[in-house]
Structure formats: structure tokens, C-alpha cells
Amino acid sequence: MIIMKAKFTYVGIRVTNLQKSIDFYTKLLGMQVTGKGKIEQTKGETVSLQSEKDSFVLELNYYEEGSPYNTKYSVGEGLDHLAFKVEDFDKTLEETRRAGYRTLLKMKAGGGRWAYIEDPDGIWIEVF
């Protein structure tokens, strides 16, 4: 197997009330909102937060009613995914497929592409 160079850039957590979570991280912990987006494919919304410019990102993920990802929430289950920036997106997906790891979801929006693969324990790993 070829080891791909990847940079761990952010972590995404699932939240049940997006505004309450934004208020918690910004008003109590001083984080700044650095981006917002809607993902039609998942019926979801994302909000990116940082403590400092160019620091690690916390992504809040909210899935509206009717989304297949809006499932019963259990405390501690909030880890949504881990994200890695890779040198070669297509090559990474091919190598993970060859190694026996399945791609769960491929996405494309705003000129960007990303995909989710499963780690050995079923945790979603985003590559972009």
C-alpha cells in the first residue's frame, strides 16, 4: 500500500441545535465563525469556527428533519467526521478502494470535491 501524504485540518461534530451551538462556541469560548454552508445532498448545514486565524477548525454539522443523517442523538455520538487534505484526491480514493475501504459518499460543490471513506471502526474520514 502507498502511504498518502495528508494534513489533518479540522474535525466535524454533529449538533442538534445549530444556533445554540454557535452561541456556545462564540460567546463562551471566543471562537469566530469563519464559514457557513448548506449541503443539499445531505440536507445539512455546516458552520466553521476557529479560535485564531489559520488555526485548527471546528465544523458544526446540523442535519434537518428528513435527512438520512438526522438520526437519534446519543451523547458522545456527536463526532461526525475527521477531515484530511490530501495531495491527490483521485489517487487517494483509488488507493483506499484498493486497500478495501469503501467510499461512503462523494460530493462536489462550489468548485470543490470531497469524499467520505470509512476507517476500520466505521468512523467517517473526509478527504478533500
Is residue 104 one of the residues assigned to a domain? Answer: yes
Is residue 83 one of the residues assigned to a domain? Answer: yes
Note the pLDDT of residue 76: 66
> Residue 42: which CATH number?
3.10.180.10
Question: If you average pLDDT over every residue of the chain, what do you get?
Answer: 88
Is residue 46 one of the residues assigned to a domain? Answer: yes
Q: Determine if residue 79 is left, alpha or beta; phi over 0 gives left, psi from -120 to 50 gives alpha, anything else beta.
A: beta
Sign of the alpha-carbon torsion through 79, 27, 23, 35: negative
Residue-range definition of the domain harbouring residue 56: 6-127
pLDDT digits (tens, 9 = 90+) for 90-101: 999 998 899 888
Note the pLDDT of residue 1: 62
How many Å apart are CA 25 and CA 4, to the nearest integer? 33
C-alpha cell at 5: 501524504
pLDDT digits (tens, 9 = 90+) for 116-125: 998 876 888 8
Query: Is residue 3 predicted with pLDDT exceeding 80?
Result: no
C-alpha cell at 121: 471502526
Sign of the alpha-carbon torsion through 39, 125, 7, 79: positive
Using 50, 70 and 90 to split pLDDT, how confident is the model at 72?
A: confident
Tell whether pTM > 0.75.
no
Q: Determine if residue 83 is left, alpha or beta; phi over 0 gives left, psi from -120 to 50 gives alpha, anything else beta.
A: beta
pLDDT digits (tens, 9 = 90+) for 12-39: 999 989 999 999 889 888 899 999 999 9
Note the pLDDT of residue 30: 86
Note the pLDDT of residue 128: 93
Is residue 1 one of the residues assigned to a domain? Answer: no
Burial class (CB in 10 A: 0-12, 13-18, 19+), 76: exposed
What one-character DSSP code corresponds to residue 26? Answer: I
Query: Is residue 60 predicted with pLDDT exceeding 80?
Result: yes
- Domain count along the chain: 1
Is residue 114 one of the residues assigned to a domain? Answer: yes
